[in-house]
Chain A
Amino acid sequence: MHELYLVESVLNIVQDYAVKQEFKKVNSIVLSFGRLSCIDPKSLQFAFEVQAKETPAENAALQFKILPAVIHCFSCGRDLELDIYEGTCPRCKGEEVMLVGGTEELQIIEMDVD
């Protein structure tokens, strides 16, 4: 559901840049966010297709850079990338862990424009 609001903000930023840098058309946009930030790429894509109509970003391709969830485990001393965070270390089952990556907020990294 929040994808709608995030896309609205993406389009506002694109619009600002379109005015400042005088481009008419956006070919692609690279976005990044953490795997655990509850952002669904499919919903983002869908919301974008609907809301980008009649803007410079209409038909632009979205590329997602999804940053991994990373924990540090105090039991085995490792840093591990995970798909799902369950509060434990998948390697040693240790419960003394710290989440160190994966909740990064949505960013626009770059655009390809004409």
Chain B
Amino acid sequence: MKVTVVKNVLAANDRIAAENRALFDKNGVYVINLMSSPGAGKTTLVEKTILALQNRYRIAVIEGDIQDTYDADRIAALNIPVVQINTGGACHIDGNMIRESLPAFDLALIDLLICENVGNLVCPAEFKIGENAKVMILSAPEGADKPAKYPLIFQESSVMVINKIDLFPYVDFDLAKAKRDALSINKELQIFEVSCKTGAGLDDWIKWLTDRIDDFKKPRV
């Protein structure tokens, strides 16, 4: 007997993500899902973003490391509430992991929640968590072929941060190709070229984020 199904395999995760989203909306929490390869600069960008915005917004962080707590410790050092998710070896965070970590926060007291995903360009793009925006980082040493090789994450993201531009003199990174290929996959993609080391370009990223949060928090009539 044939049974017609036609169902997204990750529909159950999508449902949990939508429930998370409803909870975030109720509490006015703007949520970012931050993704990249290992070492592209996620935690560093989180630190810089906190330093730029902590007087303006109440910020909290979820760290999705596979095991250690190095990244969570770096955030805690900035006096920001942080929860380390135990992904149990999983290569991504999913809607349920976020849901289970939420009781550790008072959502009513948070304006911006940044979720640092596991370093990986494949699975994090597939699993929604209830975010307002997916933000991905491509760092110069990784090479400009990544958009063409891993199109899904570029398609799903609202923002691509090209990080480590201070290393341009030392690595062969074809900036024009990276941007062209990423836009051929997602023409709405916002692109920022930054160095978390020197601080170059970070203002534009901060301005984009501030505009999104303020727009999100604006009372609707």
Contacts and interface: CB of A to CB of B under 8 A. Distances in A.
Contacts of A17: 3, 5
Contacts of A75: none
Contacts, number: 94
B9 A13 contact: yes
B18 interface: no
A110 B13 CA distance: 20
Overall SS of chain A's interface: mixed
A17 B4 CA distance: 10
B209 interface: no
B53 interface: no
Contact of A112 (B2, B126, B185): B2
Contact of A103 (B3, B13, B91, B151): B151
A13 B151 contact: no
A107 B187 contact: no
A85 B148 contact: yes
A19 interface: no
B58 to A, nearest CB: 33
Interface string B178-191: 00110011010000
A108 interface: yes
B168 interface: no
B90 interface: yes
A13 B7 CA distance: 9
Interface of A: 1-2, 5-6, 9-10, 12-13, 17, 21, 23, 31, 36-38, 71, 85-87, 95, 97-99, 102-103, 105-114
Given A1-B123, A37-B126, 15 more contacts: A2-B123, A5-B90, A5-B123, A13-B5, A17-B5, A23-B3, A37-B152, A85-B148, A85-B151, A87-B148, A99-B184, A103-B185, A107-B6, A108-B7, A112-B3
Interface of B: 1-13, 90-92, 94, 122-123, 126, 147-148, 150-152, 155, 177, 180-181, 184-185, 187
